Amino acid sequence: MTTVSATTIWILIIGLAIGSFALRFTFIGLVGDRPIPSWLLRHLRYTAVAIIPALIAPLVVWPAATDGQPDLPRMAAAAVALTVGLVTKKVLTAIFSGAAVLYALLYLIG
């Protein structure tokens, strides 16, 4: 694992702290009672649901730990975590199901 300098980490933390507060405060603090354009709300609604899958897709298809080679335990764990999340709508159930499959398969064939 590459080591990251402490300065970089603190810049990140402070930057994210200020930025996150700004995002939360913009409307409730500054906009107040004024109406918000509906096109903006419509785009904001889909931010997390777009960014998180976009972040994850390359990591699943080309996992770093195996030098970018797709491998069975990781692909299976990914599929189980996603499926269980879709079916149960419970994040933690999905995490633990995926982790169980990952470790079971790593133990069996890894």
Partner 1 sequence: MAITTSKSYFWTGFREGLPFVIVVGPFGMLFGVFATEAGLNIAQTIAFSATVFAGAAQFTALQLLQDNTPTVIILASALAVNLRVAMYSASLTPYLGAAPLWQRACAAYLIVDQSYACSIVRFEAEPELTTKQRMAYFVGCVSPVAPIWILMTYLGAVLGAQIPDSWALDFALPIAFLAMIGPMMRTLPHVIAALVAIVVALLTVQVPANLGLLIAGVAGMMAGAQAELALERHKR
The distance of closest approach from Cβ of residue 108 to partner 1 in the complex, given in angstroms and rounded to an integer, is: 13
x/- letters, 39..68, toward partner 1 (CB under 8 A): xxxxxxxxxxxxxxxxxxxxxxxxxxx---
Q: Distances from the Cα of 34 to the Cαs of 21, 41, 97, in angstroms?
A: 20, 14, 45
Q: For residues 60 and 71, give the distance between their C-alpha atoms in angstroms, rounded to a whole number.
A: 10
Per CB under 8 A, 108 contacts partner 1: no
Rounded to a whole number of angstroms, the minimum distance from the CB of residue 69 to partner 1 is: 13
Q: Is 13 in the site for partner 1 (CB under 8 A)?
A: yes
Reference 91, options 59, 48, 42, 57; nearest CA is 48
